Amino acid sequence: MNKKIGKILVPIDGSKNSIRGLEMAISIAMQSGATITCVHSISIIPRVEFQVGQMKKEWSKDIKKIMKGAESLVTQRGIKFREKIMRGDTGYNIIKLAHDKKENYDLIIIGSRGRGTMKELFLGSVSNYVVHSSKIPVLIVK
């Protein structure tokens, strides 16, 4: 296969496995000259009265911290960095972005497990969903 890797999509949630996925993406991008887009999807949970205002502030702080850390890791190696923040089902959002014709990603690199909820124990992980739904190559990093 002689296809050049030009754009890599890396779902990131701040977990150790997502950071390992980002490190693998950096390694591949350094060899191929690819750009890296980190995506974070905010799962929408049922509205709970006492959580609404404070939780949004905490999520915002956490997401900014995660993305700043990712941007720092990527740009200090001279790699072009982009970020996307989405709301909704994480696996669906990753696939929707990966298959967007305007974006034209060549590879998804995803950690094997993230900061998932208990739901994932019963319904399968995001990485499992992505690997079975993707039309482009997926690299799962442990």
Q: Where exactly are the structural domains of the chain?
A: 7-141
The per-residue pLDDT for range 2-24, each reduced to its tens digit, is: 678 999 999 999 989 999 999 99
What pLDDT is recorded for position 52? 53
Provide the pLDDT confidence category of residue 48 given band limits of 50, 70 and 90: low
9 versus 115: which is more confidently predicted? 9
Q: Which of 4, 30, 7, 18 is nearest to 112 (CA)?
A: 18
Q: Which long-range contacts (CB under 8 A, 24 or more apart) does 19-26 make?
A: 19/111, 20/111, 20/141, 20/142, 21/109, 21/110, 21/111, 21/139, 21/141, 22/70, 22/73, 22/74, 22/109, 23/73, 24/109, 24/139, 24/141, 25/109, 26/73, 26/74, 26/77, 26/79
Taking the model in full, what pTM does it have?
0.85
pLDDT for 31 beyond 90: yes
Look at residue 42 in the predicted model and tell me its pLDDT. Answer: 85
At residue 83, the pLDDT reads 96
What class has domain 7-141?
Answer: alpha beta
Mean pLDDT of 125-137: 94
**pLDDT above 60 for 120:** no
pLDDT (mean) for 104-118: 79
pLDDT digit string, tens, across residues 65-85: 999 999 999 999 999 999 999
Residue 54 has pLDDT above 60, yes or no: no
